[in-house]
Amino acid sequence: MSNQFENIVEGQKKIMDFWSNLSQQMTSSFKPKSDPAEAGQELMQDWYNKQQAFFQEAMKTDPQQALEKAPEHLKQYMELQSEFTQKWAEYFKENAGKMGMQFPAMEGFTGYTNPTQYFQDGMGHWRKWMEDGNKWLNEQVLEKMPFNMRPHYTNYLDTYNFMSRYWEPMQRLIKNGLYDANMVEQYFSADAYQKLINQMMGFRPVGNTSDVVDNVNKWFEKYMNVAKGQGQDWSSVSEVWKNKMDEYMSTGKVPFFEMASELNQRLQDQLAPFNNIASQGRQTEISKLMQDIQFQYIAFILKSAEMQTKVYEAGQFALPDTVRDFSEQYKKEQEMPDFQAFFQHYVNTLEEALLDILHSAEYSQLQSEVSALGTQMNHQSKRLAELMYADMPFLTHSEADDIAKETSTLRRKVRSLEQRLAELEKGMLLGGKPAVEKTATAESGGSKKKLMDKIGPAAAADADDLKKIKGVGPKLEKMLNELGIYTYKQISKMGPAEYDMIDELLGAFQGRAKRDNWAKQAKQMI
Amino acid sequence: MTTNNNPNISDQILEQVDTVSDAMRNIGGVQDVDIATAPREIVWEDGKVKLYHFSQEEPAVAKTPVLVAYALVNRWEMMDLQPNRSFIRKLISEGMDVYLIDWGYPTKVDRYKTMEDYILGNLNDAVDFIRGEHNLDKINLLGVCQGGTFSLMYSSLFPEKIKNLVTLVTPVDFDNEEGLLFKWAKDMDVDAIVDGFGGIIPGDFLNTGFDLLKPMNKTRKYMALPQTMADKGRLMNFLRMEHWVADSPAQAGETYRRFIKDMYQHNKLIKGEFELGGRKVDLKKIKMPALTIYAKGDHIVPPATTKPINDLIGSKDKELMEFPGGHIGVFVGGRSQKLLTPAVAEWLKERD
């Protein structure tokens, strides 16, 4: 939203500048030689009072009402300015001949010593009013958005504002035709540029490599402490780690994967006897998991940094390219774009560049590795937490998993039994044994009579909405109606024997009446 | 703002203030974002899966009802997103009797739910229910996107239950490099991901993938927001779409794993190597009339992945139809209302 408001403020500023300049020019033409001009004084005072009243009125209401009235207010404001300018011009014309006339004394304006100051204050009011409205509007938009879409929108706002801060230098670049590729480095810090792309792409920055190294070191130390607690001598691995670190850091090159796998191997060698002795122990698994997580973490961070670097590299020429395009246009037509057009062009150029990299096999591979590492690490961490809390009375992921597995097996079994049952029923009917159905009908005739004797008859005209009873849907309601059951009163008289009869009569929805205790529900409905 | 002194600058500002003022009034007046408003009732359910029957004011012209099977990815509400541009409503107004299967929102307990459970279980149950209700041997099946792939599989295994088959923007040839999703899925370490997520793939994971297909789409959309918001109708449609995108169900891990591996990575369906519940799925066994619709500008399911359906199935009465638009335009575009939906209904009615 900021763009619209900024445009308005921007336009307003230009109008203010225009008037401000005009009045300065006009005032300068009044040479302070003659008597103070009463008329001029009055004119200024009148103008001041009107403006004061206008702003008081315009800022009185809440942002929404104020904005609704904004077109009207702005029109009024414009009229006010035009009126003043006109009067001033008349006044000027009238008095211009009288050389030596003094400029009306400014002391009459409470607190104002010159018109420029006055205009700037007016401008400040507008700006504040716009900013408040802007804030309010953004909040409104966010409130109406689903919560998981909100970060996308705030990211966009941040990005837009971030870019607009560079708009002044960008304009100078466009005018001067500077657009070399180093521009990104010159005008954006590496961090700022990363932040920009991160916001656009929804990436989270991994930080710089030395932070990663520090992090990994911390992880490693933590891990060593846990492992030490298990009574092993880890000094050699620790030392290797430290030496490798010192060695590589001094050269500025850190071949992590090579190093990580070497250390991993050493750790495994050292852990082997311990794991063998205590192969059943939870501690063993914990220590193994921590080891895995650590190396997955290193790999994840680095792979993801590599992936993000690819994206940054792809996007780095989008900005200079955008400046170049507009700069060439400026050379030809001497016309500057507005910020929105610039931003739009930048976004399109950036997308083109990004799509190039997103389509590459290299990126696809990296993305796959990053997501696999990330999810695996997440999984291992959960497993670790589960092991740590294994003695607590929680339902763990693995237990829930067992239940899910069991549920699925049962679901499949039910399905195959249902299908088998359907086939058998069909076979019996086709096999010239309609007796099954007949018997059922005969029996159900008996059951139905017994059931109706107990619950009593009812007419369709008195029907209650049986769907209000939990467990009864439109289908079941229809079946009940067909049996002659229409009212809560009838259902409230049911007991276990009647539930069984319902099951028998309907064939479907077995056990539902009992499970949901229909009679009790129906009693509450009456 | 251009630097040259535009004499109409105050007009421009007035126009902008008008826009913002309208936007503010509109957004302030939004109470509820309504989607999927076509009246319907639940006629059958099994766990999280529901079967809807849409209400109609006039009795349907067509006597064969149509079952709509949407994808597991994203929600079927796309078919009824805006009241005035609803695929479902239009289908009904064209005289069709419409059912729709809602797959629900899988949770951890569904991680072992398989493609068999979905297709041989849920879909088959829904088809049987409708056949029973209408006392018909065969009904019409309309599959959308991944739901279309499911519908092809189902129709090949149960041709005796399907009268006419319509597939909308349905991928069948996964050996494609043009669509980014197809490219990425080939490199995906799906085992690591399914296991890593604990067997249930979060909707946000999928949404991020969709976002990256056009990385600046959101930025562009938000840039145009003031103008969008100044129009009450467009504002509501923007919010409806935001809600639809945000409402992305998780995926049952085993089904996801199988779909990525057997479809995207090994393209088993068109090779005739895909099996469901121990039965080979042979597309040649689809002999009923079939209508295949693809969207010309589809960047999610490119035409090249859809078109081969028409050559692979065994139907004699078959038709390939091009829709001039994108994946989403098939459901919410003006052209969908004017051209596509009536054409689908017409095609079905001719074969009723």
User: Residue B303: what are its φ and ψ, rounded to 5°?
Assistant: -50, -40
Chain A nearest C-alpha distance from B279 (Å): 15
Amino acid at A174: I
Residue A455: per-residue pLDDT: 83
Measured distance CA(A198)–CA(A312) in Å, rounded: 9
Chain A nearest C-alpha distance from B225 (Å): 7
Of A78, A338, A343, which is closest to B2 when you measure between CB atoms?
Answer: A338
Residue of A nearest to B229 (CA): A141
Contact A160, A343 (CB under 8 A): yes
Measured distance CA(A361)–CA(A194) in Å, rounded: 23
Contact B120, B155 (CB under 8 A): no
Residue A485: per-residue pLDDT: 86
Widest pairwise Cα distance in chain B: 77
Give tens-digit pLDDT for A4-50: 555 555 555 555 555 555 555 555 544 343 444 455 666 666 766 67
| Residue B17 belongs to a domain | no
Instruction: For residue A17, give both structure tokens.
Output: 């500048």
Of A156, A354, A475, which is closest to B218 when you measure between CB atoms?
Answer: A156
Nearest to B232 by CA among A380, A492, A144, A468: A144
Report the predicted TM-score, pTM, of the whole model to 2 decimal places.
0.70
Contact A148, B246 (CB under 8 A): yes
Residue A224: per-residue pLDDT: 61
b/e per residue, A319-343, with b = 16+ CB within 10 A? bbbbbbbbbeebeeeeebbbbbebb
| Residue B124 belongs to a domain | yes
Give tens-digit pLDDT for A95-143: 544 433 333 333 333 344 445 555 555 556 555 656 666 777 788 888 8
Of the given ranges (A2-16, B108-122, B165-179), which has the lowest mean pLDDT?
A: A2-16
Residue of B nearest to A198 (CA): B215
| Residue B259 belongs to a domain | yes
DSSP A199-235: HHHT------HHHHHHHHHHHHHHHHHHHHTTT---H
Give tens-digit pLDDT for B330-345: 988 888 999 999 999 9
Residue of A nearest to B114 (CA): A408
User: Which residues on neighbouring strands pair with residue A436, listed in sequence order?
Assistant: none
Burial class (CB in 10 A: 0-12, 13-18, 19+), B56: middle
Measured distance CA(A61)–CA(B267) in Å, rounded: 64
Domain residue limits at B211: 40-350
Residue A440: per-residue pLDDT: 40
Of A11, A338, A411, which is closest to B9 when you measure between CB atoms?
Answer: A11
- Which of A7, A132, A161 would best serve as a mutation to test chain B binding (most B beta carbons within 10 A)? A7
Residue A334: per-residue pLDDT: 85
Chain A nearest C-alpha distance from B317 (Å): 32
The verdict on a CB contact (< 8 Å) between A364 and B184 is yes
Give the count of domains, chain B. Answer: 1
The verdict on a CB contact (< 8 Å) between A7 and B1 is yes
The verdict on a CB contact (< 8 Å) between A397 and B198 is yes
Rounded to the nearest angstrom, the gap between the alpha carbon of residue B241 and the centroid of all alpha carbons in its chain is 14
Nearest to A454 by CA among A412, A419, A499: A499
Contacts B23 to A, Cβ<8 Å: 1, 4, 137
Of B9, B13, B199, which is closest to A401 when you measure between CB atoms?
Answer: B199
CATH of the domain at B80: 3.40.50.1820
Residue of B nearest to A346 (CA): B216
Measured distance CA(A315)–CA(A308) in Å, rounded: 11
Q: Is residue B57 annotated as part of the catalytic site, yes or no?
A: no
Q: Tens-digit pLDDT profile for chain A (526 aa)?
A: 445 555 555 555 555 555 555 555 555 544 343 444 455 666 666 766 676 676 666 666 666 666 666 667 666 766 776 666 666 555 655 554 443 333 333 333 334 444 555 555 555 655 565 666 677 778 888 888 888 888 888 888 888 888 888 888 788 888 887 777 676 777 777 777 777 776 766 665 555 656 666 766 676 666 666 655 554 555 565 666 667 667 666 665 656 556 666 666 666 666 556 555 544 566 667 777 777 777 777 778 778 878 888 888 888 888 888 888 999 989 898 888 888 889 999 999 999 998 999 999 999 999 999 889 888 888 887 887 777 766 667 777 788 888 888 888 888 888 889 888 888 888 777 654 443 343 344 445 567 777 888 888 887 778 888 888 877 888 788 888 887 888 888 888 888 888 877 777 776 667 778 778 888 888 888 7
Strands B290-295 and B200-201: unpaired
Residue of A nearest to B184 (CA): A364
> Which residues, 6+ apart, have CB-to-CB distance to A86 below 8 Å?
none
User: Residue B42: what are its φ and ψ, rounded to 5°?
Assistant: -80, 120
Give tens-digit pLDDT for A187-233: 777 777 777 776 766 665 555 656 666 766 676 666 666 655 554 55
Of A336, A365, A475, which is closest to B187 when you measure between CB atoms?
Answer: A365
Given B126, B145, B190, B293, which residue is catalytic?
Answer: B145
Cα dihedral B49/B258/B199/A358 (nearest 10) = -110
The verdict on a CB contact (< 8 Å) between B193 and A372 is yes
Contacts B17 to A, Cβ<8 Å: 8, 67, 70-71, 74
Average pLDDT rounded to a whole number, residues B294-322? 95
Residue A45: per-residue pLDDT: 66
Rounded to the nearest angstrom, the gap between the alpha carbon of residue B24 and the centroid of all alpha carbons in its chain is 33
Contacts A330 to B, Cβ<8 Å: none
Measured distance CA(A403)–CA(B23) in Å, rounded: 51
Rounded to the nearest angstrom, the gap between the alpha carbon of residue B317 and the centroid of all alpha carbons in its chain is 24
Residue B8: per-residue pLDDT: 46
| Residue B34 belongs to a domain | no
Q: What is the ipTM of this complex?
A: 0.81
Average pLDDT rounded to a whole number, residues B254-268? 97
| Residue B14 belongs to a domain | no
| Residue B7 belongs to a domain | no
Chain B nearest C-alpha distance from A269 (Å): 26
Contacts B212 to A, Cβ<8 Å: 201, 358
Residue A298: per-residue pLDDT: 75
| Residue B9 belongs to a domain | no
Q: How many CB pairs under 8 A join A and B?
A: 214
| Residue B19 belongs to a domain | no
